[in-house]
Structure 1
Amino acid sequence: MTDTLIKVDLKESPYNNENIHNRWHPDIPMACWVKPGHDFILETYDWTGGFIKNDDSADDVRDIDLSIVHFLSGPVGVEGAEPGDLLVVDLLDIGAKQESLWGFNGFFSKNNGGGFLTEFFPHAQKSIWDIQGMFTKSRHVPGVNYAGLIHPGLIGCLPSHDLLEQWNSREQALIDTNPQRVPPLANPPFPSTAHMGKLTGDAKAAAAMTGARTVPPREHGGNCDIKDLSRGSKIFFPVYVKGAGLSVGDLHFSQGDGEITFCGAIEMAGWVHMKVELIKGGMEKYGIKNPIFQPSPITPNYKDYLIFEGISVDNSGKQYYLDVNVAYQQACLNAIEYLTKFGYSPSQAYSILGTAPVQGHISGVVDIPNSCATLWLPTDIFEFDIKPNALGPTIFINGGATMPISFDKE
């Protein structure tokens, strides 16, 4: 039997669990230790620690204090790991906790987190998705049913003190260019809601002052939200501290490329079965400063797609120079507009793009002034035909189900 090294009780606050943390800092003690070659299981909270509920209100998405996230299980120390090594992590299996076979997708309010299309969807909204074996469907977004590509949105190793200082310095410099921006340009340390694992007292207070927020991906891995980092993947992480300090959380049942709704996957509580190995001196041997990985051999078998193009011209007609971000926004907006012709609300269509296994591609970056990005929408996830034909679209979604929405407080 494989040992479960970290367990979580979904009825208890993650702040009461010393094997959980929500900041990156090299002084966070290891929650447990393993030897290279060993496999083990870690249980995880959903990334909000249970704040988002399985109900028909989006008030929780609107009101969440985003300084509390993400709640991560770990760090796991690996015996013999030294700075400069590569930590090899095999994701052997991932699943939802049996007492919590559901997940949520949400759009954050522009005034509290925002998202990729926040200018078009400025208010908090939520959809709940039931997990039925390897498939999922939602009472809030009818007409779709698809296989999950289960993966950790967030996985990485502890930074060194020098690397942590680099993160904080460069992100604060960015914030300083427009400190009043809504949503903000980055998230600086915020000690009052920091959970630092086994650290207590003055050591905890000192580390919380500089502990890096878990929101972005960085050199150590972190919140990369890569949907193909699923069961069967192998990841090579740079090691920056003795013991490596591997942590994981933010599990997703399914997600589209880009996690475009920010809370953009089907977020869930669950468990990860993994194995670790070491490549001594691997960072220098292979010239690696960011993680690399081999994708899962298990992926949803969708082969028929509608592909939506976008270029570097925004909705107002403003021209950008080879801006892939704008191009991908336009590809997403074009797909959303298309799906509304079948009876979906724009919010329901947006939720589909954030949760279904859509593919995002950078299709062209050389033809000035427009980059071309594409969004690949699998047609087989729909319970009706969405392909164009001479008769025009038939409205298959006739009202009824809607996504809960909460408007910003005055």
Structure 2
Amino acid sequence: MPELIFPLDSTKPFTAQEKVGHNRWHPDIPAAVTVKAGDSFRVHCREWFDGAIVNDDSADDIRDAPLAGVHVLSGPIAVEGAKPGDLLIVDILDIGPIPQEDSGPLAGQGWGYTGIFPTLNGGGFLTEQFPDAYKAIWDFSGQKTTSRHVPHVEFTGIVHPGLMGTAPSRDLLSTWNTREAALIATDPDRVPPLALPPLPDSAILGSLTGEEFDTVAAEGARTAPPRENGGNQDIKNLTKGSRIFYPVFVDGANLSVGDLHFSQGDGEITFCGAIEMGGFIDLRVEILRDGMSTYGVSENAIFMPGNTDPQYSEFLAFSGTSVTLDGEQRYLDSHLAYQRACLHAIDYLTKFGYSPEQAYLLLGAAPIEGRLSGVVDIPNACATVYIPTAIFDFPIAPSASGPFQIDPGIGAPHSAF
């Protein structure tokens, strides 16, 4: 096993650990640990809400989730000799739930969760159709998972980090805050908001204290979106065996990682759409000198996905175009097209006995394939969503006998404001 450089004790909150991570992006957050190029090491990660979501049959915790405190990230990890302009090569050697802890109160101890976030607390991809909070608990058995809240499905997880990235430079941080503030200003009262500005409340900034803490807390970028440094990209194929090339913006690169997922469908469409968990990740790092200019990677990581994905070979696919539910034509709106494809899949699954919310949770958690299928045939973009048929324990394809009727079980817990 690689050396454990960032340990976490499951009995203690994130801020009481031996090494304290962070939940904001800022170049002045000190590195918690330093490694050398060529080193392999293990990092423990807490699920993104640090234990706020529990294994029960209520969705009150999703409704009331403390969004100001996410994501709790392990790091920063400085790499000796890394300089701005380099590319940091990161190999994912292994990844999984919390080691040797098969049961317990924390996500990752033999279970994980998927949530539909309410519109008043972040929303999701289909928040207009699903404005309330719902939750599904998923139990792990080796690489497979099942849920009492979404019965009659079992699938192999594509375990991956939802969030990994390098620290921004001061100029890049300023660029983020300026452009996101301008976007917020176009509709400052929108619910959910257009972006999340810096927020000192609930900031965790590693070892910083006093005036330094206050300054960084006022400037630090929230970790919710993906940005030029990588960040919360939620790419389900960034799994074991993957190699990622991250731009370096500060001395040491200051790599951070967290938000581990047992599984996820393309898009993580419910916002808390993956199967969230704590766990471990084994990494190896190298430095590619002046790689940003040499390969034209001045922003946004490039990566080589691993080859350990589950081998599903048969799918039922749904398509959508850029026409709203009210019949309004939009011009090549691929975001809308994917929404419509997902809604078509949800409508289809309800014919077998699932509630719309169960179907929505399933699309967020299961290894569905989302594809941008057509972007040139004006005025309609076309997007598709592919659902593996083997994850169901009943026939899912259309047939002359009509939809097989399942028992939907206790359903997905629901909480409204």
TM-score normalized by the length of structure 2: 0.97
Offset, 1:318: 1.2
**Runs of 4+ in structure 1 over 4 Å off:** none
What residue in structure 2 maps to residue 45 of structure 1? 46
Trace 1:362-373 onto structure 2 (pairs within 5 A): 362-373=372-383
SS of the residue 1:209 aligns to? helix
Q: Which residue of 2 aligns with 1:19?
A: 20
Residue of structure 1 equivalent to 2:121: 112
Asked whether the equivalents of residues 82 and 240 of structure 1 are also in contact (C-alpha less than 8 Å), the reply is: yes
Structure 2 runs not aligned, ≥5 long: 102-108
Give the drift of 1:15.
Answer: 2.2
Deviation at 1:126, TM superposition (A): 0.3
Aligned partner letter, 1:73: S
Matches within 5 A, 1:179-190: 179-190=188-199
Opposite residue 259 of structure 2, the aligned amino acid is D
One of 100, 122, 145 as aligned partner of 2:154: 145
Mapping 1:366-405, distance limit 5 Å: 366-395=376-405, 397-405=406-414
Contact 1:126 1:404 in 2 (8 A): yes
Shift of 1:16: 2.3
- Tell me, yes or no, if structure 1 residue 346 matches structure 2 residue 347: no
In structure 2, the residue corresponding to 1:192 is in which secondary structure? coil
> What's the offset of the Cα at 1:401?
2.3
- In structure 2, which of residues 130, 137, 143 is the aligned counterpart of residue 134 of structure 1? 143
8 Å contact kept, 2:148–2:409: no
1:269 aligns with 2:270: no
TM-score normalised by length of structure 1: 0.98
Secondary structure, aligned partner of 1:26: coil
Residue equivalent to 2:241: 232
Q: Secondary structure at the match of 2:328?
A: coil
Q: Encode CA deviations 1:291-344: one digit per residue, 9 max, x unaligned.
A: 000001111110100110000011111111000000000000000000001111
Offset at 1:224?
A: 0.2
Match of residue 164, structure 1, among 173, 177, 182: 173
Corresponding residue for residue 371 of structure 2? 361
Contact 2:197–2:221 under 8 Å retained in 1: yes
Q: Aligned equivalents of 2:8 and 2:137: distance in 1? A: 22
1:30-81 Cα deviation digits (max 9, x unpaired): 0101010010000010011111011111000001120100000000000000
Distance 2:393 2:401 in 1: 19
Q: Give the equivalent residue in structure 1 for 2:260.
A: 251
Counterpart residue number, 1:29: 30
The AA in structure 1 aligned to 2:380 is N
Per-residue Cα deviation, 1:332-359 (whole angstroms, up to 9, x for no partner): 0000000001111101111110011000
Q: CA deviation at 1:215?
A: 0.2
Amino acid at match of 1:346: P
Q: Report SS of the residue matched to 1:171.
A: helix
- 1:301 paired to 2:302: no
Superposed, 1:294-333 pairs within 5 Å as: 294-333=304-343
**Aligned residue in 2 for 1:207:** 216
User: Residues of 1 paired with 2:153 and 2:267: CA distance?
Assistant: 20
Alpha carbons 1:10, 1:50 under 8 Å: kept = no
Quote the RMSD (CA, aligned, Å): 0.8
Residue 178 of structure 1 deviates from its aligned partner by 0.1
Percent of paired sites with the same residue: 57
1:220 aligns with 2:229: yes
Name the CA distance, whole Å, in 1 between partners of 2:110 and 2:175: 40
Structure 1 unaligned residues grouped into runs of 5+: none
- Cα distance between partner residues in 2 of 1:298 and 1:2: 20
Which amino acid letter does the alignment assign opposite residue 378 of structure 2? I
Rounded to whole Å, the distance in 2 between the matches of 1:58 and 1:382 is 25
**In 2, Cα distance between the equivalents of 1:115 and 1:3?**
38
Corresponding residue for 1:9? 9
Aligned residues: 407
Give the Cα separation in 1 of the matches to 2:56 and 2:407: 22
Mapped to 1, the partners of 2:32 and 2:380 lie a distance apart of 49
Measure how far apart 1:400 and its partner are.
2.6
**1:278 to partner: Cα distance:** 0.4
Q: How does 1:80-91 map to 2 (within 5 A)?
A: 80-91=81-92
Task: After superposing the two structures, state which structure 1 stretch, 9-18 or 180-189, moved more.
Answer: 9-18
Cα distance in 2 between the residues matched to 1:225 and 1:31: 24
AA in 2 matched with 1:307: A
Q: How far did residue 399 of structure 1 move?
A: 3.8
Q: How far apart in 1 are the matches of 2:143 and 2:385? A: 24
